[in-house]
Structure 1
Amino acid sequence: MSKDGLCAIVTGSASGLGAATAAILAKGGARIVVNYSNSKAEAEATADLCRSAGAEVVVVQGDVSRDEDCRKIAAAAAPWGRLDVLVNNAGTTKHVPHHDLEGLSAEDFQRIYAVNTIGPFQMIRAARAQLEAGAKASGLPSAVVNVSSVAGISGGGSSVAYAASKGALNTMTQSLARALAPLIRVNTVCPGYIDTPWFTKGRGEAGAKAVRDAVVAKVPLKVASTAEDIAQLVCFLASPASSNMTGEFVRMDAGMHLVL
């Protein structure tokens, strides 16, 4: 990222991949809207990290499953008069073994889809005019980066509902890449395992360690990807360096997909 005053929204940026992405964008000179749903203290910590890099930051609470909240988040960038980057990172899941069909209710599916699939659609819709203004100001298409998962390709992951929601996000990426060109690019990152508190919250300390150890033992590169590792890819797709890419989903899983 060059210090050219790009304006960016990163949803779900209180911690983990979202926070790492916001920090890298800030270091590159971008102005940042930090969004959180529940974790205000963590969001403020992310904002302080971005400000320490010299960035202008706005913190806004909002649940992306609610259209009115998406419009509030987008409006937080309105004073800048443009928007160059939207990172749809907010996500949720329920950890349920895939064979346990009774472990997921219709309400579970609806909540997971509402955040993981409908949320990005609503954010793109809410921010469309600002993204188009950013493209006209810069002379390059603005960038939407959706954070999906390898689960959306393989059908694995934390639950059937989660995998299905991410698969839907992948196909939506292609649909909107066609619909919004040439002023807006839409790409998706599909991470594998990321060593963040996500697994600890879902499985506890011992369960999270077991998952991490199993991943490191299995993947060809013998590493557990960090939030910062994946954030580098997100920021590449957000930056002018990828200005000719749209409609792609890029996998980063330390080679897990190569394991037969």
Structure 2
Amino acid sequence: MSKDGLCAIITGSASGLGAATAGLWAKRGARIVVNYSNSQKEAETTAEACRNAGAADVLVVQGDVSRDEDCRKIVAAAASWGRLDVLVNNAGITKHVPHRDLDGLSAEDFQRIYAVNTIGPYQMIRAARSLLEIGAKVSGRPAAVVNVSSVAAINGDGSSIAYSASKGALNTMTLPLARALAPSIRVNTVCPDYIDTPWFTKGRGEARAREVRDTVLARVPLEVVSTAEDVAQLVCFLASPESNNMTGECVRIDAGMHLIL
């Protein structure tokens, strides 16, 4: 990818997929807002790695995307650049509850998971809309929003019913937003399966995460486990000028898991 100095916000980019995405944009010479909710130390580490990789500018901003005022604060940090070209809605949470355990999820669990995974991206897009529209005018091509969903939204599986439902809502929301924001802003979504990142270990514990990883590796047709960098490549493609004619798409990346009968 050429060094064209795109301006990007990546929510939840202190570690994992968000950090990997930021790292790829840094190599492209982008200006990047690294956002975190709790892990400031990790966010600063990611920011320093981006600077070392060639980012034109890196800002670190704390904010919980479930809070509209925080979304506006995150976007305001990029205002000094005068525009935005890319918004990646990567921040997400879950609660690990077996699907049969209907008593394991409270209304408060649903509300919190939806607040971050579904309402958060909506609020970020709303807050960033003006700067993204300016970015489109400056570059002469649509600005890009990429939402990070999950195959759980398609298959109805995943860490909990609340998580699956929140990502399903995010997939559906992609369509009306793509219509409403065209032609100046494109909106697409990626749906990864298992990604080999600490996010899975934190939720399940090392032993269970290793068991899931080994199961995925043994089953998927491509016989690989996706890394954060693998999925980040797709995120960056959907956010880049190379995908200018794509909008309203939910793109699955699962190493062929959906092919298993």
- TM bin, normalised by shorter chain, reads over 0.9
What does residue 238 of structure 2 align with? 237
Q: How far apart, in 1, do the equivalents of 2:148 and 2:68 lie?
A: 19
What does residue 125 of structure 1 align with? 126
Q: How far apart, in 2, do the equivalents of 1:256 and 1:112 lie?
A: 25
What does residue 3 of structure 2 align with? 3
Q: How far apart, in 1, do the equivalents of 2:87 and 2:52 lie?
A: 22
Q: How far apart, in 1, do the equivalents of 2:169 and 2:2 lie?
A: 33
What does residue 18 of structure 1 align with? 18
Q: In the alignment, residue 250 of structure 2 is paired with which amino acid?
A: F
For 1:43-192, list aligned pairs within 5 A.
43-55=43-55, 56-192=57-193
Q: How far apart, in 2, do the equivalents of 1:214 and 1:5 lie?
A: 40
Deviation (angstroms), 1:2: 2.1
What are the superposed Cα offsets for residues 134-172 of structure 1, whole Å, 9 maximum, x if unpaired?
000000000000000000011011110000000000010
What does residue 226 of structure 1 align with? 227
Which segments of structure 1 move beyond 4 Å, counting only runs of 4 or more?
none
Deviation (angstroms), 1:4: 1.3
Query: Which ranges in structure 1 are unaligned for 5 or more consecutive residues?
Result: none
For 1:192-231, list aligned pairs within 5 A.
192-231=193-232
Deviation (angstroms), 1:218: 1.2
What does residue 37 of structure 1 align with? 37
Query: Which ranges in structure 2 are unaligned for 5 or more consecutive residues?
Result: none
What are the superposed Cα offsets for residues 78-112 of structure 1, whole Å, 9 maximum, x if unpaired?
00000000000000000111111111110100000
SS at match of 1:57: strand
SS at match of 1:193: coil
Give the superposed CA RMSD.
0.6
Q: How far apart, in 2, do the equivalents of 1:156 and 1:27 lie?
A: 35
Deviation (angstroms), 1:217: 1.0
> Residues 90 and 148 of structure 2 are in contact (CA less than 8 Å); yes or no, is this contact kept in structure 1?
yes
SS at match of 1:187: strand
Deviation (angstroms), 1:29: 1.2
> Residues 28 and 54 of structure 2 are in contact (CA less than 8 Å); yes or no, is this contact kept in structure 1?
no
TM-score in terms of structure 2 length:
0.99
The count of residues paired between Structure 1 and Structure 2 equals 260
In percent, how many aligned pairs have the same letter?
A: 82
